[in-house]
Amino acid sequence: MKKRIFVSATNTDIGKTYTAKLLLEAFAQRGYRVGAIKLIETGVKTLAPDAQALLETVQKFNPEFANVSIEDIVPITYKLPAAPYIASNKKALDLTSLEKAVIKLESLCDILIIEGAGGLYVPLDAKYMMIDMITHFQAKALLVTHCALGCINDTLLSQRALEERHIAYVTAFNCREGDESFAAVSAPYFQDTQKNILKISDNIDTICDVLYNL
């Protein structure tokens, strides 16, 4: 089985696609054939923007994705910008289509970046949550978290969810403009309680190395 890395986050709009694109570039620079898939995207009226961004990035680094379509990158889309459980009108998840898409794209790459939707406990249907996709596809996880006030609580809750499922993971902080208070109000806790603080903007190479060796 190829290497699978699942990019999740503490919530929606935290920076999963941005991070996935950086991972694709960083792994490609190491000589790996990279690939990407976003299992589900909601809020899609005509074009799936996250999937489009992933496809354009992959095609820069892996010519084997030249004929891959948006529909290959994102097998399931919904118009309503809501959790898939709601956006699908409570329809059962088509897990078979996701499995086929993963297998197809994985045949073109050495490392497949799998992007989730929203956070770990976004409901996909009455049976599955997003976190279930990490274990189903036997992937390692990258937990993307924010740097605003409240990130301690949000990060710890998501980390606990991953640990309870025995999922190997790396945590990375996506600090944005306006997050200058992070160093004073949140970083000291993580410095005292965790091995290190990995920032996506500064430490993407280290993040790649740690993920690959999980």
Q: Please write the tens of the pLDDT for every residue from 108-121.
A: 999 999 999 999 99
Predicted confidence (pLDDT) per residue in 92-112, tens digit: 999 999 999 999 999 999 999
Helix axes 200-212, 16-29, angle to 10 degrees: 60
Who has greater pLDDT, 204 or 196? 204
**What's the burial of 84, exposed, middle or buried (CB within 10 Å: 0-12/13-18/19+)?**
buried
Q: Which of 16, 21, 38, 140 is catalytic?
A: 38
* Residue 110 in tokens: 């050495």
Checking if the pLDDT of 1 tops 90, the result is no
User: Around Cβ 156, how many Cβ atoms within 10 Å?
Assistant: 17
Checking if the pLDDT of 178 tops 80, the result is yes
Model pTM above 0.95 = yes
CA 64 to centroid of chain Cα atoms: 22
- Average pLDDT on 24-53 reads 97
Q: Domain of residue 200: give its range.
A: 3-212
The rounded distance, in Å, linking the Cα atoms of 211 and 214 is 5
Place 70 in a pLDDT band, splitting at 50, 70 and 90. Answer: very high
pLDDT above 70 covers what percent of the chain?
Answer: 100
CATH number, residue 136: 3.40.50.300
User: What are the helix (H) ranges across the chain?
Assistant: 16-29, 49-61, 70-73, 84-87, 95-106, 130-136, 151-164, 182-185, 187-193, 200-212
- The total domain count for the chain is 1
Task: Tell me, yes or no, if 38 is annotated catalytic.
Answer: yes
Q: Which of 81, 85, 203 is nearest to 142 (CA)?
A: 203
